[in-house]
Homo-oligomer: A and B are copies of this chain.
Amino acid sequence: MIIKPNTSSGTPIYVQLKDQIKHAIETGALRPGEQLPGMRKLAEELVINPNTVARVYRELEQEGVIELRQGSGAFVAEQAKGSARADILRARPLVKALLVKLLHMGLGEEEIRRLFEAELIAARAENNTQASRK
């Protein structure tokens, strides 16, 4: 199930939508061969412009994640690279548990995002350092 992208979050709508769909495929919520909602229908549901959905679908096709078949619809590619990834499914409850904890500690959503992003960058930097040391 796709959530309405946040219109006032800096991140473009089409990026948010793309990420949601990729994530749905990674978790197996959308399975290879399954049909995606029609462009117009989805646009109406999310209260965004059909062209924006069209762009998302076009780019996802270009990345090999979905297939667009003229006249018949959009489908999750049979060969979609990261479909129903076991590691992501195992990771999910861990992430959820942590988020619940942080929210109970009184952190706000935006603060969590900032903290998370900062640590992600830091972790990447450390990995790179280790890698270049090897």
Contacts and interface: CB of A to CB of B under 8 A. Distances in A.
A20 B114 CA distance: 7
Contacts of A95: 98, 102, 115-116, 119
A116 B26 CA distance: 13
Interface residues of A, number: 50
Interface string A22-54: 110011000000000000000000000100000
Contacts of A102: 91, 94-95
B106 A119 contact: no
A101 B124 CA distance: 13
A107 B125 CA distance: 16
Interface centre among A82, A95, A109, A120 (most CB of B within 10 A): A95
